[in-house]
Structure 1
Amino acid sequence: MERTEREQLDGGGPDKDPAAEDGPGKDRAAGARARTPLPSFAYTDADAEKMRGVRRMKTTATGALLLVALIFVLATWAKNSGAGPWAGYVAAAAEAGMVGALADWFAVTALFRYPLGLPIPHTAIIPNKKDQLGTTLGSFVGENFLSGDVVRTRLHALGIGRRLGAWLAEPAHADRVTAELSTALRGALAVLRDSDVQAVVGEAITRRADSAEIAPGVGKTLEKVVADGAHHRAVDLICARAHDWLVLHADSVLDAVEGGAPGWTPRFVDKRVGERVYKELLRFVTEMRDMPEHPARGAIDRFLTDFAADLQSDTDTRDRVERMKSELLSRSEVQDVIASAWSSVRAMIISAAEDDRSELRLRARASLLSLGARLATDGRLQSKLDGWVEEAAVYVVTTYRAEITSLISETVASWDAEHTSRKIEAHIGRDLQFIRINGTVVGALAGLLIYTLAHALGA
């Protein structure tokens, strides 16, 4: 490949794939091309624009090299022509400037490609050492940024608990968090399939009911209800409804009594017996309704008390209750009610989450404001929250440090070597060209100083 010296110094000309050259990076570059580069690390139009700026700085740096080379030629000619001692000083400075410029050009070029296309060892560093650099970078990050002490110290200095408390204490921020939580809740409920949740809820309720014996608990509850007299209102209601029913359905009662009489009794006797039975029944119910101390009420109290005791201690009663519970749970109607409970709860939650003035959102907002106020002022609570956050973060970075650092190394390894080299050069190449310019200037000054000292000591 024919390339002029000026093109080599500028780094211009057609881009050359480092893997096309013989050298230690050939296999690695080929492997990098075999991997699919990440789309986010492709060479973009913005990179191309930056590269044009790099080329302009290359022209400037190369111009400085050519300038000192021209000065060296003219100063050497003047010195040989007897122009005076000054020509030697200028020639020495220009000569050292050329050396410095060439050395820095070699150093900068060796980062991205082979200088002059020659596969010199330890050149084209970025294309050839890309994977190694990624591994080294991952190890550096893991050792210096993902250590438990570093993470804990940094998080402790942030004072997360105090800052979070001050932030949540602002009503506008509490409103925002409440709205976001409501949105997240609605999204979660929308993702869940009703059939799956209903099956889980139904199974959980049924399994829980089957595993728990309810008779002793019902017995204790009934015992407390009777002891407190809380059942009296239920008895009052039953008596009142029974009285009203008897008044409204007197004919039905008479017909039932007369219909149950023997066929050989006269009808007027059946009627008189029916009227007597109805009046006694109505009197009994009326007395129970109007007399809190009626003996029948006492009998009900004793029955309920005995039944509560049997529920807790009588094995036969408890077994019968359990069988009744199992039969009730196995009925399809009960299972349908259990399964449909989720639909009702879901609709209720979604409605509450969408309503800004619902009790759910108001309570959530009040809780957030209260939490924020406590976090902002309570040092113990702040320390506790900070400790939780620090321990959680330390656990994550120490447990998954290898995975995190491997993400860096594997990501770098997946990049295309040519794109990586060109992209890095586009971002830092312009600054690197100042190294060449500085090398020219510093080299010239160093050469002038050395030449001056040499002549001074020689004199």
Structure 2
Amino acid sequence: MALPATFVINAPGDVARAAELRRVKALATLVLAATLALFVVAKVLLPLHPVFGFVAAFAEAATIGGLADWYAVVALFRRPLGLPIPHTAIIQSNQHRIADKLGEFIEQHFLEAGPVEAKLRQIDFGSFIADWLRDRKRSADLARFVLRLLPEAVSATENSGLMTFIVRRITTQLLSIDLAPLAAGTLRAFVAEGRHQGLLDDLLRAIHQSLTQPETMALIRGKIRDELPTLLKLYRTDKFLVNKIVASATSFFEEVRNDPNHAFRGEFDRMLLTFVDRLGNDPAYADRIDGLKRDLLARPELGDLARNIWSNARSFIERSAAGETQVLQHHLARMFAEAGEALAGDIELRGEINQGLVTVFRSFIADQKSGVSSFISDQVKAWDMGQLLQLIEINIGRDLQYIRFNGSLIGGLAGLALYTAEFLLRWL
């Protein structure tokens, strides 16, 4: 069972209001006593002059009005004179009903979807987030906070088996990717942009450099020498042929590199496009690529590489959290600050953030509003009514005491008017 809520009444404003309430109460009581005394004096002096009848009528009605309003004010908070009079101590007697009605009222009139959404749309969440992140100190504090949580998050990820699940999901997704159409589309775009011509130039340059290497020329010469008749070997024909081959190849490579419209470039285009078409449409190519993909993903070296990367990342995070290095913290702080700057300059993104948060908060409030109603009701039921009544009386009791002044005045005037009417009727 919840303990009664307590209210501390010691703020300077509360103390001042309590003193003012006591002063007004005393004044209202003094007015009541004065009207009663005036009534008694007027009744005693009535035989001396008829005017005291009017004074007595005013004082009598003022006293009755003051007493009635005193009773009404006191009955709100407690039992007048401690007597068990029905329908008094209204707030105390109806605490549970007031609590339920207050919770119901707030649920129906404050937490409805329309007013809630209208209020949420007045808040620029995106600008608030942007301004918060752009503050360098806040970004640095956020970076330190995130960095303190990272080691625990990493440890929890490992211990919970989440990493195994993530690896399996990634592997499954990679295996489900059809690489042949993807590779074909990439190569087709590569050819359409003409970037393959630069690749051809680099390839020809690499072949030319390889051919002119002494080791390569010696190797070609040896192959040619093995195929030549003995007679031609005596005239060193192999060397002549190697030089001719290299010279012809060099000349050909230079022609292709210097002529953007060379016929060989067209043949190279057709060769690549034919390969791209077969890659995208030939099942045999697709099967080979798929097999290569499966073999690559099944290699233990890939798993070892992933584990090493994860281990190094974890070690770096732990060292950063321990303060051994400030690199990650500075990077996170700069990233948050840059995100705030980018968000501040992106009106569309801020609008999307605002719309998203409005939707989230509206749905959350709609789902939880009955719980809020119950929470408010339970809290009011758990309040210490003695302290609560004291708090209410301090804040609104001064205005309620003026009802007593008004009651005395209005009652007195009404009594005077009735007595005057009665007096006139007697003389008619």
Query: What amino acid sits opposite 2:11 in the alignment?
Result: D
- CA 1:365/1:446 → structure 2, altered by over 3 Å: closer, same or farther? closer
How big is each residue's C-alpha offset from its partner over 1:223-267, in whole Å with a ceiling of 9 and x where there is no partner?
4544665312112112213333454x42476379869999xxx9x
1:60 lines up with 2:27 in the alignment? yes
Q: Distance in 2 between matches of 1:394 and 1:361?
A: 25
Conservation of the 8 A alpha-carbon contact between 2:120 and 2:358: no
Q: Distance in 2 between matches of 1:141 and 1:281?
A: 95
- Equivalent residue of 1:93, what SS? helix
Query: What amino acid sits opposite 1:307 in the alignment?
Result: F
1:73 lines up with 2:40 in the alignment? yes
Q: Distance in 1 between matches of 2:417 and 2:43?
A: 18
1:319 lines up with 2:298 in the alignment? no
Conservation of the 8 A alpha-carbon contact between 2:38 and 2:59: yes
- TM-score with structure 2 length normalisation? 0.71
- TM-score with structure 1 length normalisation? 0.66
Q: Distance in 2 between matches of 1:312 and 1:416?
A: 79
Q: CA deviation at 1:67?
A: 0.7
Q: Distance in 2 between matches of 1:137 and 1:324?
A: 70
Conservation of the 8 A alpha-carbon contact between 2:134 and 2:341: no
Query: What amino acid sits opposite 2:385 in the alignment?
Result: A
Q: CA deviation at 1:430?
A: 0.8
Identity of aligned residues (%): 29
Q: Distance in 2 between matches of 1:149 and 1:68?
A: 54
Q: CA deviation at 1:281?
A: 6.5
Does 66-75 or 198-207 show the bigger shift? 198-207
Unaligned runs of 5+ in 2: 318-326
Q: CA deviation at 1:182?
A: 5.0
Conservation of the 8 A alpha-carbon contact between 2:224 and 2:238: no
2:72 equivalent in structure 1: 107
2:132 is aligned, of 180, 195, 206, to 180
1:310 equivalent in structure 2: 278
2:320 equivalent in structure 1: none
Query: What amino acid sits opposite 1:418 in the alignment?
Result: G
Q: CA deviation at 1:99?
A: 1.4
Conservation of the 8 A alpha-carbon contact between 2:133 and 2:340: no
1:434 is aligned, of 398, 402, 406, to 402
Unaligned runs of 5+ in 1: 1-33, 169-173, 376-383
1:291 equivalent in structure 2: 255
Q: CA deviation at 1:440?
A: 1.7
Q: CA deviation at 1:104?
A: 1.2
Q: CA deviation at 1:92?
A: 2.2
- CA 1:366/1:130 → structure 2, altered by over 3 Å: closer, same or farther? same
Conservation of the 8 A alpha-carbon contact between 2:133 and 2:337: no
Query: What amino acid sits opposite 2:175 in the alignment?
Result: D
RMSD (CA atoms): 4.9
* Matched residue count: 388
Q: Distance in 2 between matches of 1:178 and 1:99?
A: 65
Conservation of the 8 A alpha-carbon contact between 1:242 and 1:285: no
2:50 equivalent in structure 1: 85
Q: CA deviation at 1:288?
A: 4.9
1:367 equivalent in structure 2: 346
Q: CA deviation at 1:424?
A: 0.4
Does 310-319 or 392-401 show the bigger shift? 392-401
Query: What amino acid sits opposite 2:346 in the alignment?
Result: S
1:422 is aligned, of 381, 386, 390, to 390
- CA 1:50/1:447 → structure 2, altered by over 3 Å: closer, same or farther? same
2:179 equivalent in structure 1: 214
Q: Distance in 1 between matches of 2:210 and 2:330?
A: 39
